[in-house]
A and B are shown apart, each in its own frame.
Chain A
Amino acid sequence: MIAQQLVNGVMLGAIYMLVAVAFTLAIGILNFLNFSIPGLFMVGGMVTWALLAQGWHWSIAVGAALLAAAFVALLVERLSYRPSRDADPEVPLASALGFLILLENLFVIRYGSDQLSFPALLPDFNWRLGGLVIGGAQLVSLAVAVALVLWLSVLLRRTNTGRRIRAVAESRETAVILGVDVGRLVPQVFVSSAVFTAAGGVLFALNYLQVSATMGEGVGFKGVAAMIIGGMGSIWGAILGGLLIGLAEVLTIGFLGADLVDIAVYGLLLALLILRPEGLLGRPAAREKL
């Protein structure tokens, strides 16, 4: 029983992991707490659903959803991030929240706020291993999530783009002096971050066979929690944090009841922020100079 819970927790954690990676890319590289990410998560799930309902092939529907999320992310870059880089730190945060509210309400206006049932794309297939039952959708989600994260870590470590991104994360000014074209790199970061989130939204729909205009809120905010628990700006931290939140959630449901999930997850987050604000794998903040 516990083993089954652990498996379910890891599967859920894989989705949180994608969202947490999206958040951590934005904050680690751009120092931008991009609260529009829960909206992009919803765009991933809802656009796929809407196109499937129109009778489109699943691959085109998913591709279009990822493109839509990328497009919105570019708008966020243009309207939230870019104009307010030199303003108080609350300003880009507020603007990104504006995008979240806008996206949610546009989808509510078009499709209502109820849960919509998402068609089962995969044959109902269960893989039994010992006493464990692993669903086909779960397996696919895990595989896709791991593949995406591996691709990202290879990209960051091994490629020129990755080196440029890490240079910007270290010091934007120095990167500019060294000739990194930040103006081109930043939109790329936004697009990758959007693709991760939206992929998370699609996988969520695939697993739970439900989407809604507000589906991003719960998962998105837990993605933030996962990012912080792992350590802001750390990819491996986001992976660890995502898995921990997934496990904490599933185990709380299993042993304490579904009503206590938010208390457990956000209580954990609160405790960690107070006791170890840099997260499990993050670096402590640099001390102030006088």
Chain B
Amino acid sequence: MTAYQTGLLVILALNVLGAFAVYLPLSAGQLNLGIAGFMAVGAYAAAWLGNEQGWGATAAIAAGGGAAALVACAVAVPILRTHGIYLALATFALGQVITAVFLNLEPVGAAAGYPVTEHIGPAAVLLTTLGVAALVLLLSCTRFALCLTAIRSDAVVADLMGMPVRALKVAAFTLGAAIAGLSGGLYALHYNYVEAQHFGVMLSTYTVLYVLLGGTRSVWGPILGAAFFTLIPELLRASAGWRYAIFALLVILFMAWRPAGLLTGGLRLPWRRRAAEETP
């Protein structure tokens, strides 16, 4: 395998992890537009623990995931008071705040960036991604996943069926953040450099778009979306600017053509209108 192909696989793996991090909360109806903030938490935590505390790569990356989960858990209760578009905007604001904090945090280099001493090779990134993917796929076969879908579909009924809606929502939000943190940790230790600017709005946006394009009603959607939109621009061998322009064009066309995503396409969701009519 050439270095180019390996590099591409690593990017693909990180994108797939990011897509899962968006997918899990989204399967419970939470659109997290600040996922890059949680990636930043994971990246900086792993980098700092490796650099300053002498932690090994595995422990540092795992701690990165844990740190992001902790932050998520701490903000989940107030932030999940909001719903729908308000939640999307609240996570968006949260992502901006987190990135801005790292941009000003002197112990981790602030705006100058933060070099990382511990290093992991591509194999470690790929294996971790495979492990996480296996776990998420397994999770999608459980009642836990069923509960999240039920909450997304109709939270009032889910509550009446006895589901602890609040706790499940927090769990989905936190799990997503943990995966984002893990991917941030892998990123930091693989590229050996972290800068806050990388974890901006656009990273969150691209990650969310992978998931929406793949389809949010199947666990294969985020994998497909991330793979398609990582590999297609590469195959077209486009320059950096055109790469994003083509990506954006595909987003627009796909959303117009298959609003429910590549995988679960064909659903134009007529029930939304019908449900509204049936309400007395």
By a beta-carbon cutoff of 8 Å, the part of chain A in contact with chain B is 27, 33, 79-80, 83-84, 86-95, 97-102, 104-106, 108-109, 217, 221, 224-225, 228, 259-263, 266-267, 269-270, 273-274, 277, 288-290
Besides A83-B259, A224-B89, 18 more A-B contacts (Cβ < 8 Å) are A27-B85, A79-B253, A86-B273, A89-B85, A93-B88, A94-B213, A98-B248, A101-B251, A102-B252, A217-B201, A217-B202, A228-B89, A266-B94, A266-B100, A273-B82, A273-B93, A274-B90, A277-B81
**B13-21, B131-139, B164-172, B264-272: which lies at the interface:** B264-272
Report the Cα distance A224→B92, complex, angstroms: 10
CB-contact partner of B96 in A87, A105, A221, A228, under 8 A:
A221
**B130 interfacial by beta-carbon distance below 8 Å:** no
Task: Compute how far the CA of A87 lies from the CA of B252 in the bound complex, rounded to whole angstroms.
Answer: 14
Report yes or no: A98 in contact with B251, Cβ–Cβ below 8 A. Answer: yes
B241 touches A109 (CB 8 A): yes
Q: Pick the contact of A95: B85, B86, B256 (CB < 8 A).
A: B256
**Chain A residues within an 8 Å CB radius of B88:** 33, 90, 93
Instruction: Write the nearest CB–CB distance from B169 to chain A, whole angstroms.
Output: 15
Distance between Cα atoms of A251 and B86 in the complex (Å): 26
B84 contacts chain A at the CB level, 8 A cutoff? yes
Contact of A262 among B82, B100, B253, B272 (CB under 8 A): B100
Set of chain A residues within 8 Å of B99, measured between Cβ atoms: 262
B245 touches A105 (CB 8 A): yes
Q: Contacts of A221 on B, CB cut-off 8 Å? A: 92, 96, 201
Q: Which residues of B contact A80 (CB under 8 A)?
A: 252, 255-256
Given contact pairs A88-B269, A221-B201, A263 touches B86 in the complex (Cβ within 8 A): no
Known contacts A260-B104, A274-B90; A266 and B96 CB within 8 A of each other: yes
Q: Are B86 and A99 interface neighbours, CB within 8 A?
A: no
B248:A274 contact, CB within 8 angstroms: no
Q: Is the CB of B244 within 8 A of A86?
A: no
16 A–B contacts from the bound complex (CB under 8 Å):
A83-B255, A86-B272, A87-B269, A90-B88, A91-B260, A92-B255, A93-B31, A94-B208, A97-B209, A98-B252, A101-B202, A101-B247, A109-B241, A266-B94, A266-B96, A270-B90
A83–B104 CB distance below 8 A: no
Q: B93 touching A266 by the CB < 8 A rule?
A: yes
Interchain nearest-CB distance for A221 vs B (Å): 7
B84 — which chain A residues lie within 8 A by C-beta?
A: 89
In the complex, what residue of chain A is closest to B206 when comparing beta carbons? A101
Which residues of the other chain, A, contact B96 by a CB distance below 8 angstroms? 221, 262, 266
Give 9 closest A-B pairs by Cβ, nearest first: A98-B251, A102-B248, A87-B259, A262-B100, A95-B255, A101-B248, A266-B96, A109-B241, A105-B245
User: For the complex, is B97 an interface residue (Cβ under 8 Å from A)?
Assistant: yes
Chain A residues near B27 (CB-CB < 8 A)? none
- Cβ-defined contact, B205 with A97, below 8 A: yes
What sequence of 0s and 1s flags, for each residue 94-106 of chain B, a beta carbon within 8 Å of any chain A beta carbon? 1011011101100
Contacts of B270 in A (CB 8 A): 86
Question: Which chain B residues lie closer than 8 Å to A274 at the CB level?
Answer: 78-79, 81-82, 90
Closest-CB distance, B93 to chain A (whole angstroms): 4
Chain B neighbourhood of A95, CB < 8 A? 251-252, 255-256
What 0/1 readout, one digit per residue, does chain B (200-218) give for beta carbons within 8 Å of chain A?
0110010011001100100
Q: How far is the CA of A27 from the CA of B86 in the complex (A)?
A: 12
Q: How far does the alpha carbon of A76 sit from the alpha carbon of B82 in the complex, in Å?
A: 28
| Interchain CA distance A91-B217 in the complex, whole Å | 13
Question: Are B245 and A102 touching (Cβ within 8 A)?
Answer: yes
Query: Is B5 engaged at the interface, CB distance under 8 Å to the other chain?
Result: no
- Is B144 close to A, CB under 8 A? no
Identify B101's interface contact among A99, A228, A263, A289, CB under 8 A.
A263
Given the known inter-chain contacts A83-B256, A274-B79, A277-B86, please indicate yes or no for A90 contacting B31, CB distance below 8 A.
Answer: yes
Residue of B nearest to A99 (CB): B252
Residues of A within 8 A of B97 (CB): 262-263, 266-267, 270
Contact B212 A91 (CB under 8 A): yes
A88 to B272, CA, bound (A): 9
Q: Which residues of A contact B249 (CB under 8 A)?
A: 98, 102
Contacts of A84 in B (CB 8 A): 255-256, 259
Which residues of B lie under 8 Å from residue A269 when comparing CB positions? Answer: 89, 93
Contact status of A263 and B79, CB under 8 A, knowing A93-B88, A94-B208: no
Which among B156, B208, B252 has the greatest number of chain A C-beta atoms within 10 A?
Answer: B252
